[in-house]
Amino acid sequence: MFTIVILETVYIPQQYKNENLEEVKDFLDNNSFGILISNNTGKPWATHIPLELDKDDDGNDILYGHLAKANPQWKHFTENDEVLCIFNGPHSYVSSSWYAEEEVPTWNYIAVHIYGRLKIQEEKALMASLHKLVDKYEKQSEHPISLNNLSKNTLKQVKGIVGFEVEIKKIQAAYKLSQGRQQDHRKIIEELDKNGSPGSKEIAKAMKKN
């Protein structure tokens, strides 16, 4: 279970909030390519990277990731800095022609915002997180590789990255799935399924589930 509290720091209408933490956890596990946003000399700085859900040695919920040392963002990391991590899920345009009554069109989507405290990893923790990351995604490969089987020369590239953890403090999950238009759900789902795009089909699937 998560050990986090859902708080208000971003606008999400009440009907779109998802407070089912197990469902949010599953979303993060399956949509882990996120955006890390931090403060860089008074300006927001963002990098698109994998941010994996895990727990630290004390049982706290964390995200872990790494940046290239060539990326200036990490040079302004300060221990315990608050950062924002954004995860985007499926999304799709919804035409109001699918409604029984006249209304404006809209957009359905799933997204999660996480706020937390930053901590730079030591080399041992960085290597452990890299092993977890590679092992997770190599399961999908026909011929999976392991970092254990890579040469020392290849693994020297680890010297070019900086690992970090984000201790999760706040989370907001928005699941905008045509709530309030239950009378139109059947038609909306039908049209989304016909659309054929991956995003439309995933939103239709989420609407059926919810």
Per-residue confidence of the chain (210 residues) as pLDDT tens digits?
444 444 456 788 899 999 999 999 999 999 999 999 998 888 899 999 999 999 988 898 999 999 999 999 999 888 778 999 999 999 999 999 999 999 999 999 999 999 999 999 999 999 999 999 999 999 989 999 999 999 999 999 999 999 999 999 999 999 999 999 999 999 999 999 999 899 999 999 999 987
pTM for this structure?
0.90
Residue labelled with tokens 């279970």: 1
d(CA 149, CA 155) in angstroms, rounded, equals 10
The tokens for 22 are 């197990």
Residue 134 burial class via C-beta count within 10 angstroms: exposed 0-12, middle 13-18, buried 19 and up: middle
d(CA 40, CA 38) in angstroms, rounded, equals 6
Question: Which architecture, in CATH terms, is 14-181?
Answer: Roll (2.30)
